[in-house]
Amino acid sequence: MSSLNQPGLALLAATLFATAGVTPLHAQAQSPEDFYNEQTRDFLKALNNPRVNSRVRRIWLQLADQTQRMYPVLPAQQYNAGQALPNGVIVLDVSIAGNDHQEVTAFWLAHEWAHQYYGHPQMQLTAIGQLLIARAGTAQEDAADRFAGRFLKSQEYDIEPVLSFLCRIPGGGANDAHSAGAKRAKNTAAAYGLDDYEGCGGDD
């Protein structure tokens, strides 16, 4: 996958397919610029990693087996880790697929899988669904994080790289559909079974 025009990337898009470097655990949230730069670095690195496709396929099979559902997963680089579309497709950032930690890939794919499993994207297609989403606040994203945390536990993935990633996510503001990174880390840790998780540090 050394260039966008090579067959390897086309195969990746046709079959299956979010991102963090190795950093100290429980780090503080990054600035949006630092987060973007990190994702760009991991995106370029993933393009030259032939093992990315097999990693995503393995996680895809684990999710399909556990949920008895199958959703197509396609690569992109939207700098939002991933997205669940109303047509049932999951889009996964290449930078997430090729993250230094397979656990981060597993978490984000499971997070987007949860949205499809719960039918969240389809709610956007109706006016009443949009109203319910608006009133739900962060509930849908929090539920997807919990689903992903339970999935990581069931497959015996290490949770620490995921918590580190979540702690470093920049805040999205008061109207963000996602909870702040520190809260997401606590939510995911609790779903994983870490009731004694102390949080990201700093002002959680």
Task: Identify the band that residue 204 occupies on the pLDDT scale cut at 50, 70 and 90.
Answer: low
| Total number of domains constituting the chain | 1
Quick check: is 170 in a domain?
A: yes
> Does any domain span residue 197?
no
Strand order across the beta sheet in which 82-84 lies: 73-76, 90-93, 82-84
Place of tokens 């991991």: 42
In this prediction, residue 168 has a pLDDT band, given cuts at 50, 70 and 90, of very high
Give the model's pLDDT for residue 27.
Answer: 62
Which one is predicted more confidently, 11 or 96?
96
In a domain, 202, yes or no: no
Domain-embedded: residue 149: yes
Q: Which of 82-86, 89-93, 96-100, 136-140 has the lowest mean pLDDT?
A: 136-140
Domain contains 67: yes
* pTM for this predicted structure: 0.82
Q: In the chain, where does DSSP find H-type helix?
A: 7-15, 32-47, 52-67, 94-97, 102-118, 120-123, 127-136, 139-154, 160-167, 181-192
Any domain includes 51: yes
End-to-end CA distance of the chain: 39
Among 8-17, 105-114, 143-152, 189-198, where is mean pLDDT lowest? Answer: 8-17
At 21, the pLDDT band (50, 70, 90 cuts) reads very low
Confidence of residue 31 (pLDDT cuts 50, 70, 90): confident
CA 27 to chain centre: 18
pLDDT at residue 179, rounded to an integer: 87
Q: What is the dihedral of CA 12, 15, 19, 23, to 10 degrees?
A: -80
What's the token pair of residue 150? Answer: 């339970």
Determine the structural domain holding residue 74 and report its residue range: 7-21+29-192
Mean pLDDT across 24-42 = 80
- DSSP summary character for residue 126: S
pLDDT at 42 over 80: yes
Average pLDDT, the chain: 85
Mapping DSSP to helix (H, G, I), strand (E, B) and coil, where does residue 50 land?
coil
- The total of other beta-carbon atoms located within 10 Å of residue 132's CB is 13
**Is residue 198 a part of any domain in this protein?**
no
Asked if residue 142 belongs to a domain, the reply is yes
